[in-house]
Structure 1
């Protein structure tokens, strides 16, 4: 039986990166995965925070091969063969059922929030089949033992025993510590009988896939003679959100001709199978239907994916000799593109804890702190997303609700980049900010009948954290730059 300090379950980018970091700090590591790469996956939209975190980790632990992923320009320079999409920021367009999209005065049905100064400094959409495969290949070049195509069971005693088969051959591992990077599968908490988290403010489900030949949203706008001259960036070079009465749709474009697209619907809005839901949603929104008139599903091979309720979590995220990465610990909703950055934030914290406290009694209490931090971050994400769902279908309120997220994101970026601090993700450890979010949620739950007054209240609530001119752009709903300062690469 092979013995390791740490065994990681799951070889997505999070599990693979964690394995490489722990190898760098001198721990013996194995990584076990049920499948193989490349494979279809979503969770594709990166953010400035993700770039900062990945750059910091690659510098601190001497993994320069990951630096180019932090920005679109360096990605294209170093890894042009790996598919990705350019992301200048977030774009939102509000639709009325059974009507073509209509631009309202003062951009009352449009919102564009810029995250980057230029295309070269832009964030990216990660085409996960390529990116996860790259990370896994880097693991296979290292001292980490890489075991894909493995079916295993876990048993916990003083440490852990992982036994099963790989390609028909028996495998047996012993580990002092196990990290679960399996996402929704949650092999460790299921093994331990950890209680599930069931109380969430957000209630949504999704239908999604990868498509070819999706007409750009800019082309649809141009065909409708809608003026785009005020837009701070190409609206398709973004995490594009089609905001609907039933929920919203994401569209993420990659440079290989594929578009990731999915409808995320309020809990009571999805009825029938995936194909039926997809057809019904397109029939309800003709401008979006025009985008998909000649589109074809290219992945996954099994067809459109339909989920049950997206919200999930565990009431305990770490223990004496185990820990969950954030995406295993829980998931809320893809609305604010938090997945990649939150995963990296959790990895940073977990690897630092294991490096500092390995073999020490303090590790147990540090894991309690790690668990609490992940729970706090998921709770804040839940509140930030729920506020947006409560705001549907009043786009002015929805816009105000998104600004709570942008205040949190820019605050997190500012503290890390300008003050050198390491707050919890999205400043989830700021109790006053969390209280402001709760007050906004309460106002929405009570019914914000006077929308202008409600927006004034939102601006007042966010004033202490409004570093980037939220609520007061020079052109209504057009934010030309919101992230922490950067310079062009030399």
Structure 2
């Protein structure tokens, strides 16, 4: 039986990166995965914060092979064969069922928020099949023991005993510490009987897949003679959102011809399927007229409720990575950044407190940090769902996210702090988001709402966000067109 300091369950990019970082600080590490790479995976939209965090980790722990992934230009120069997409920012388009997409001079059905100044400096969409395989291959080049296609059972006994089988042979490992990077499988909390969290403000489910031959939204707009001269970037080079009566749709384009797309539907309101949703929105249906599903092999994925979580996320000899600890919704592209933020904190705890009595307390703080981040993301997302019935109100709700994101970036770069993701440790901000959620929930219940009341609410949102509004939110020169909102270029310490 092999003995390791740390065993990690799951070899996605999060588990693989954690293994490499722990190897760098001198711990003996093994990674176990029930599958193999390459494989289909959803969760592909990066952000400025994610790029900064990956750059910081790769510099601090001397893993330069990961730095090119932080920007589209360096990625293309260094790894042109690893598929990805350009992400200049976020674009949103509001639709009405059964009607063509409509605009006006005030851009009251359009919102574009720029996150970077050029395509070279752009963030990226990660084609996870390629990216996760690259991270896993880097693990195999290192001192880390890597076991794929391995089913395991867990037993806690003065540490952990991990038993299973691989290629017909029995596998036995012992670990002082166990990290669960298995995502929704939640192997460790299930083995420990941890109670799941069930109370969330957000209620959504998804239908998604990877497609070929999805028509550019820009082409649909061109054919409809929509003036796009005010747009700060080509709207498809973004995390593109169609905002719908029933929920919303994401579209992320990769440079290998594949588009990640999915409907995320408000569980409180609808049970429609993919075809029914397309039939209700003619402009989106035009995008998918010639599209074909290419992954997963079994066809489109239809989920139950997306929201999940555990009431404990770490203990004296175990910890969950963020995506295992819980998930809310893909609306604000928080997944990659949240994973990297959690990895940064967890590796720091193990590096500084590995053989100290303080490790238990530090891991309790780590568990609390994941729950605070999850709670804030839940509120930020729920605000947008509750305000979908009016795009001006929805836009105001999205600006709470952008205020949180840019404040996080500023604190990391300018104030030399390491806040929780989206400033989830700022109690004043989290309370403010909670107050906004209460307000938009009340307005949703009153639907239809007079426009003067909507306008008053938007003004109130601007006042509420003033302490965190560092980039001119609510007051763009062109309505709903934000030409640059990111913090100054982040420099890792």
Shorter-chain TM-score tier:
over 0.9
Equivalent of 2:300, from 301, 304, 308?
A: 304
Distance 2:78 2:378 in 1: 36
Instruction: Specify the alignment match of 2:107 in structure 1.
Output: 107
Instruction: Specify the alignment match of 2:225 in structure 1.
Output: 225
Instruction: Give how far 1:271 is off.
Output: 2.7
Distance 2:150 2:355 in 1: 29
Deviations, residues 119-148 of structure 1 (Å, cap 9, x unaligned): 000000000000000000000000000000
Instruction: Specify the alignment match of 1:452 in structure 2.
Output: 455
Alpha-carbon contact 2:246-2:265 (below 8 Å) kept: yes
Instruction: Specify the alignment match of 2:415 in structure 1.
Output: 419
Distance 1:15 1:385 in 2: 26
Instruction: Give how far 1:432 is off.
Output: 0.6
Instruction: Specify the alignment match of 1:322 in structure 2.
Output: 318
Instruction: Specify the alignment match of 1:261 in structure 2.
Output: 261
Deviations, residues 335-375 of structure 1 (Å, cap 9, x unaligned): 00000000000000000000000011110111100000000
Distance 1:271 1:96 in 2: 18
Structure 2: segments with no counterpart, 5+ residues: none
Equivalent of 1:462, from 455, 461, 465?
A: 465
Matches within 5 A, 1:196-345: 196-271=196-271, 277-345=273-341
Distance 1:149 1:480 in 2: 47
Distance 1:167 1:460 in 2: 61
Distance 1:170 1:207 in 2: 38
Equivalent of 1:396, from 392, 396, 404?
A: 392
Alpha-carbon contact 1:205-1:270 (below 8 Å) kept: no
Structure 1: segments with no counterpart, 5+ residues: none
Distance 1:155 1:73 in 2: 46
Distance 2:217 2:228 in 1: 11
Aligned residue for 1:268, secondary structure, equals: coil
Root-mean-square deviation (Å): 1.0
Instruction: Give how far 1:330 is off.
Output: 0.2
Distance 1:334 1:165 in 2: 34
Instruction: Give how far 1:161 is off.
Output: 0.3
Instruction: Give how far 1:9 is off.
Output: 0.2
Distance 2:476 2:388 in 1: 22
Q: Does 1:142 align with 2:142?
A: yes
Matches within 5 A, 1:427-438: 427-438=423-434
Instruction: Specify the alignment match of 1:477 in structure 2.
Output: 480
Instruction: Specify the alignment match of 2:167 in structure 1.
Output: 167
| Count of paired positions | 484
Distance 2:197 2:74 in 1: 40
Deviations, residues 280-308 of structure 1 (Å, cap 9, x unaligned): 00000000000000000000001100000
Aligned residue for 1:46, secondary structure, equals: coil
Distance 1:436 1:366 in 2: 28
Alpha-carbon contact 2:72-2:120 (below 8 Å) kept: yes
Greater Cα offset, 22-31 or 98-107: 98-107
Instruction: Specify the alignment match of 2:354 in structure 1.
Output: 358
Instruction: Give how far 1:105 is off.
Output: 2.9
Instruction: Specify the alignment match of 1:13 in structure 2.
Output: 13
Instruction: Give how far 1:442 is off.
Output: 1.1
Instruction: Give how far 1:270 is off.
Output: 4.5
Aligned residue for 2:268, secondary structure, equals: helix
Instruction: Specify the alignment match of 2:179 in structure 1.
Output: 179
TM-score normalised over the length of structure 1: 0.98
Instruction: Specify the alignment match of 1:408 in structure 2.
Output: 404
Instruction: Give how far 1:104 is off.
Output: 2.4
Distance 1:338 1:285 in 2: 27
Instruction: Give how far 1:269 is off.
Output: 4.1
Q: Does 1:439 align with 2:435?
A: yes
